[in-house]
Structure 1
Amino acid sequence: MQQIVDFILELDKLKGVTRKNRPLGLDRYENSAEHSWQIALLAYSLVQYAETLIDIHRVIAMLLVHDIGEIDTGDTIVFAVEGWEERKAAELAAVTRIFGMLPEPRRAEFMALWLEFEQAETPEARFAHAVDRAIPALLNLANNGQSWRENGISHERVVQRIGPPIKAGCPALWIYLEARLAEEHRTGWFGIE
């Protein structure tokens, strides 16, 4: 029991990991715990649009563990293009440490979920990636391009970074987003690189 309690208290640190998007109507930036909660609900809401039949409970479990490594590494904006290999190595070390707090079999189960998400080969992992990539765009679309403008992120970079994984995991969501992104591109909500 104590190992589980220690693990859960360690996860509380995810609330202190700041991301680049602002929650709607707030002046502060969201944290990674809020992000994980929101994408889990987005996935549950969109399950009927997955590319194929999926185990939504497995998807939600992946989404709840996928950013735990950020406790040690911090968050990197999804639209960044440099340093991904180093970042993923650091995240693997972090989740190994954090999941290592748990007794077996949970330790191995959580690590398997994290690795499945990272490899993005199963229908569940592709769907999880789609919703993870979609939420920053959805928040930006609702916030007049806030983080795109603040971080100089172009329309082209947004489409390149989020288009393929969203299209692979939830094609209907990409059809929706692609049209919205094109529409807002005309209004100047993107940064200039």
Structure 2
Amino acid sequence: MKSTDLFRQIAFIKEVDKLKYILRRTKLFNSDRNENDAEHSWHLALMALVLAEHANVAVDLLKVIRMLLIHDLVEIDAGDTFIYDTQKSHDNTEEERKAAHRIFGLLPNHQAQELMAVWEEFEEGQTDEAKFARAMDRLEPLLQNTSNNGGTWTEFDVDYEKVYAKKQVIQRGSKVIWQYAEQLINDSVDKGILKKKDV
């Protein structure tokens, strides 16, 4: 391996350490402490490892884990956008794509292109691996909010309809996990920690 490749890889490794400083709105299970993006990515990768048998179809688990470990690196530049934000879209933005090019571009070209392609695949959400990875991404905050008596739902006055609409993505990756998630959402309504819109 060329030493210039190693220097670029080390530069990337140092840069992505910044992910540990990007705070999310959700809090750790049964906690008042906000989760950071690095913790989130690690947790999703571990969830995928444990839950892969429940994917709708057999997936390339290594690719899923790679997606989950890199999917939020763009937030080093673009920041975390709250999934229920009413001012800024949570969907992929040009700001995030620009961040992806800068951050992955620190790597040697072959690795930069490879990670960029994996990131784009996750964002597009069309392959079996991307569907399952996105299911994990939507499941973790649901588990956190139910463990924290409503968590961000209560804090930001998010209603049942918004939660249900955002979480339905889970079924594209795993119908089994979606059944579990849907039950958690309905139980949260019954417990009064998730409110339905006034009719």
User: Which of 38, 47, 50 is residue 52 of structure 2 equivalent to?
Assistant: 47
**Corresponding position of 2:3:** none
Any gaps of 5 or more consecutive residues in structure 1? none
Q: Which amino acid aligns with 1:69?
A: V
Given that 1:145 and 1:190 are in contact with CA atoms closer than 8 Å, whether structure 2 keeps it comes out as yes
The answer to whether 1:183 aligns with 2:187 is yes
Change (3 A) 1:46 1:81: farther
User: Which of 172, 175, 184 is residue 171 of structure 1 equivalent to?
Assistant: 175
Cα distance in 1 between the residues matched to 2:87 and 2:162: 12
The answer to whether 1:84 aligns with 2:103 is no
SS in 2 for 1:133: helix
User: Which of 135, 141, 146 is residue 136 of structure 1 equivalent to?
Assistant: 141
- Per-residue CA distance 1:144-184 (angstroms, 9 max, x = gap): 11111001111110000111x10111111110010111011
TM-score, normalised by the number of residues in structure 1: 0.94
User: Which of 90, 95, 114 is residue 100 of structure 2 equivalent to?
Assistant: 95
Pairwise CA RMSD: 1.6
Compare the two structures and name the one with the higher strand fraction.
2
User: Which of 153, 170, 173 is residue 148 of structure 1 equivalent to?
Assistant: 153
Identity %: 39
The answer to whether 1:117 aligns with 2:122 is yes
CA positional deviation for 1:84: 2.2
Given that 1:151 and 1:191 are in contact with CA atoms closer than 8 Å, whether structure 2 keeps it comes out as no
CA positional deviation for 1:81: 4.9
**Corresponding position of 1:56:** 61
Change (3 A) 1:147 1:35: same
Given that 1:153 and 1:192 are in contact with CA atoms closer than 8 Å, whether structure 2 keeps it comes out as no
**Corresponding position of 2:163:** 158
Given that 2:138 and 2:167 are in contact with CA atoms closer than 8 Å, whether structure 1 keeps it comes out as yes
Cα distance in 1 between the residues matched to 2:179 and 2:147: 17
TM-score, normalised by the number of residues in structure 2: 0.91
The structure having more radius of gyration, on CA atoms, is 2
**Corresponding position of 1:18:** 23
User: Which of 67, 71, 75 is residue 72 of structure 2 equivalent to?
Assistant: 67
